[in-house]
Structure 1
Amino acid sequence: MSSFSSRKEFISEQLTQPEETFTDIKDILVKSEEEVEDSLKLKGQKETRKDKHLYACTMCDKVFSKKTNMIYHTRTHTGEKPFSCKFCGKCFSRESIMNNHLRIHTGEKPFSCMTCGKSFTLKHQLTDHVRIHTGEKPFPCSACEKSFKLKSGLNQHMRIHKCEKPFSCATCGKGFNQRSQLTLHMKNHMGDRPFSCMTCGKTFASNSRLIVHMRTHSGEKPFSCATCGKSYSQKGHLTVHMRIHTGERPFLCSTSFKSKSSLNLHMKIHTGVKPFLCTTCGKSFSQKSYLANHNRIHTGERPFSCKTCGRGFIQRHTYMLHMRTHTGEKPYLCKTCGKRYNQKSHLTDHIRTHTGEKPFLCKTCGKGFTIKLLLINHIRTHTDERPFSCITCGKSFHVKPHLISHMKAHTDEKPYQCKMCKKAFRLKSSLNFHMRLHTGVGLFSCKTCKKTFHFKSNYMRHIKMHDSQA
């Protein structure tokens, strides 16, 4: 049946041909089944050829389905640009590209966004723009499942995973993921910084960096976290912050990091590279910013000043932490007991009181500590190192708080006053002990004779007296 169907189709097609193509209809009808099948096979080959790329570039063997596409492609080898802009004289290999270029001079923007009315010179620019409204991100990363609105954005992102930096500085050899980053970097070598801050006079290689810098003066923070409401002056800072909520750590070594800069800094721990040298004391640093902060120790410069108390700071980070002492801001919450802290490191140390973790071990006696500073102070009990000396009497101490307490003995300063009886104390711990007299809270009570003690040591001696009598 299939054979008859094929034969019938073949005859029907032949009957539609001009008369000169065959002499008599009978000639077709008497054709053998094999001849019909051969004819059909040949016809199928011709149809297949129509679907194939028929035009090949003689220079690179690339094939095209249309002759015009092959001609346009050939011009990439020959450099031929027959279409010239009548306004600026720029030449193009295709007339369509020249027409798009002409819109720069005429100001024509025929492609308009139906949502916001913004217009564009090219159709693909409108297509890319519409994704801002729709939120569509059709280009996913196969490595980390991050998606992008533009294919160019995906291509640039993939270089992060491949550690690919195709754009290198000819002067210092530094590599970059994007050509625009290299262009900005080159301006640092050439001293080309045409954008100047009207407030402080600082200059920048790009207008975008000047805009970001101006926010340090205005206090503007246009990028807000939808989860916790925290605001940032730069979009990149918000992106890194969001990973606190999402837990994303896309930059990997043996450990993972939320930002690429953190990974790069971490890698210097393995390599030991510290290319930035202090010319005053010879100390070297892994980052230029670390060297800049260190140099302020020698110059005495403290550019970050507290407007409330006037105290100056070498680093912006230290200044920001100090400001929380005035504002009372404590953004770091312990999920176990609800206690809050103004520094993340303080929260980390506190959490160990719940977990019992003591990661800092003394190599001499094996004693463990929750905080590294406590270990450093403890080690001095073995070495008898006393680096904190009183400038009045010369007495030295293992830890700085003991020196501070001692200095009050010379000044007779008693800043801690009891609110109930107005008695004053040099140490806060002394005030806490005194408050037990008023409140009764924290006293050590003997279960045998009900006698109370301020200090645990006195209480323990008292207990031993009962034990010896027994």
Structure 2
Amino acid sequence: MEEKSAVDSGEKAYTCCVCERGFSQASDLLEHKCSHNGKKLLEPEDCGKGPDSPPDLETNRYSHSGERQFTCSDCGKVFGRLPNLLKHRYIHTGERPYTCSKCGKGFTQSSNLRSHQRIHTDEKPFKCPDCDKCFKRPGNLISHQLVHTEERPFSCPQCGKGFKSSAKLMTHKLIHRDERPFNCPHCKKCFKSSRELKFHQRVHTDQRPFKCSNCEKCFKTSGDLMSHQNVHSNERPFKCPYCGICFKRSSELKSHQRAHTDAGPYICSECGKCYKYFQGLMSHQCVQTVEELNL
């Protein structure tokens, strides 16, 4: 548990003997040493540097030979490096040795802890080269960059619909299933995914974990927060491919695009007539109701 306390305290107890750079984990130091020779870990007689411990010696030897010698006794998965096996073992033990000093949440990897700790700060080191917007995680930046393109690389194998992220594709796939295994303990309503259930439960708790850094207004979903943040800027990232008009929200663009097409997503359940806008469907149903009353 010495390595855990070093991560929590920020102490860099492991020092590179070549450049004197410090690390909080022995495994990080081991990886760093490769940068000085441009190769995978070498045998001591090849690189002239001795490992820091007997486990490092084993890792050094097998990485250089290309053999995958470290086998998980629980599932049989094989690894070429001992640190990778040790990290993998947490899956079976449930151990989360890296704990956030702010909220107590545990993680299996120090990199996940470092990423999590940005929640407690305003640090946003990942900057978009197109609009200078900054993000706390590299994955969020990658997802954001698709806003500047029409690329939808994730396609549904059943209906062919494209999505900008794998998470949105996964959520969409649930439409094709009839199962709703996630039950709300408060109202017994059922959902197709744990994510939908999690969002729904905020109705009962009024939890608003997503806070705007500009005005401190809080929101129930990250999507609502992202839509709100456009209020504080003149950015209009959603561009109509037909006429070039730009919008602050994807929902506004989607609504606008119906003016260029014959698509009518709002369908009357009585006569099957389609309407481009919800208001049109409501007006139609009111007329139908009045006509039925006059019969």
What range is the shorter-chain TM-score in?
0.5 to 0.7
1:255 aligned onto 2:229: no
Q: Is the 8 A contact 1:274 1:284 kept in 2?
A: yes
CA distance in 1, matches of 2:99, 2:186: 39
Question: Which of 212, 220, 227 is the matching residue for 2:206?
Answer: 220
Find the residue that maps to 1:154 and give its secondary structure.
Answer: helix
User: Residues 269 and 201 from structure 1, CA distance in 2 versus in 1: closer, same or farther, beyond 3 angstroms?
Assistant: farther
Deviations, residues 317-337 of structure 1 (Å, cap 9, x unaligned): xxxxxxxxxxxxxxxxxxxxx
TM-score, normalisation: structure 1: 0.42
CA distance in 1, matches of 2:190, 2:220: 19
User: Residues 115 and 292 from structure 1, CA distance in 2 versus in 1: closer, same or farther, beyond 3 angstroms?
Assistant: same
User: Residues 291 and 180 from structure 1, CA distance in 2 versus in 1: closer, same or farther, beyond 3 angstroms?
Assistant: farther
Q: Which amino acid aligns with 2:129?
A: S
User: Residues 238 and 66 from structure 1, CA distance in 2 versus in 1: closer, same or farther, beyond 3 angstroms?
Assistant: closer
Deviations, residues 242-296 of structure 1 (Å, cap 9, x unaligned): 3334344322333322212222232232233335544533422347x77986897
Q: Is the 8 A contact 1:187 1:193 kept in 2?
A: no
CA distance in 1, matches of 2:246, 2:113: 38
1:126 aligned onto 2:113: yes
Deviations, residues 147-177 of structure 1 (Å, cap 9, x unaligned): 1111111111112212222211111111122
Deviations, residues 82-114 of structure 1 (Å, cap 9, x unaligned): 533212333445433221110222344333434
CA distance in 2, matches of 1:277, 1:74: 65
Question: Which of 255, 260, 277 is the matching residue for 1:265?
Answer: 255
Larger Rg: 1
- Unaligned 5+ residue runs, structure 2? 1-34, 43-59
Q: Is the 8 A contact 1:251 1:259 kept in 2?
A: yes
1:65 aligned onto 2:55: no
User: Residues 158 and 86 from structure 1, CA distance in 2 versus in 1: closer, same or farther, beyond 3 angstroms?
Assistant: same
Q: Is the 8 A contact 1:278 1:291 kept in 2?
A: no
Q: Is the 8 A contact 1:72 1:94 kept in 2?
A: yes
Write the mapping of 1:84-99 to structure 2, written as runs, cut at 5 A: 84-99=71-86
Q: Is the 8 A contact 1:144 1:250 kept in 2?
A: no
TM-score, normalisation: structure 2: 0.63
Write the mapping of 1:238-317 to structure 2, written as runs, cut at 5 A: 238-253=225-240, 254-274=244-264, 277-278=267-268, 280-286=270-276
Write the mapping of 1:447-458 to structure 2, written as runs, cut at 5 A: none
- Unaligned 5+ residue runs, structure 1? 1-51, 55-63, 301-390, 392-470
User: Residues 117 and 200 from structure 1, CA distance in 2 versus in 1: closer, same or farther, beyond 3 angstroms?
Assistant: closer
CA distance in 2, matches of 1:95, 1:299: 72
Write the mapping of 1:408-419 to structure 2, written as runs, cut at 5 A: none
Query: What is the CA-CA distance between 1:123 and the residue it aligns to?
Result: 1.6
User: Residues 53 and 219 from structure 1, CA distance in 2 versus in 1: closer, same or farther, beyond 3 angstroms?
Assistant: closer
Write the mapping of 1:36-75 to structure 2, written as runs, cut at 5 A: 65-66=39-40
CA distance in 1, matches of 2:91, 2:153: 30
In the alignment, which residue of structure 2 is the partner of 1:155?
A: 142
Q: CA RMSD in A?
A: 4.0
Query: What is the CA-CA distance between 1:129 and the residue it aligns to?
Result: 1.8
Q: Is the 8 A contact 2:267 2:281 kept in 1?
A: no
CA distance in 1, matches of 2:275, 2:250: 19
In the alignment, which residue of structure 2 is the partner of 1:176?
A: 163
Q: Give the fraction of aligned pairs with identical amino acids, expressed as a percent.
A: 39
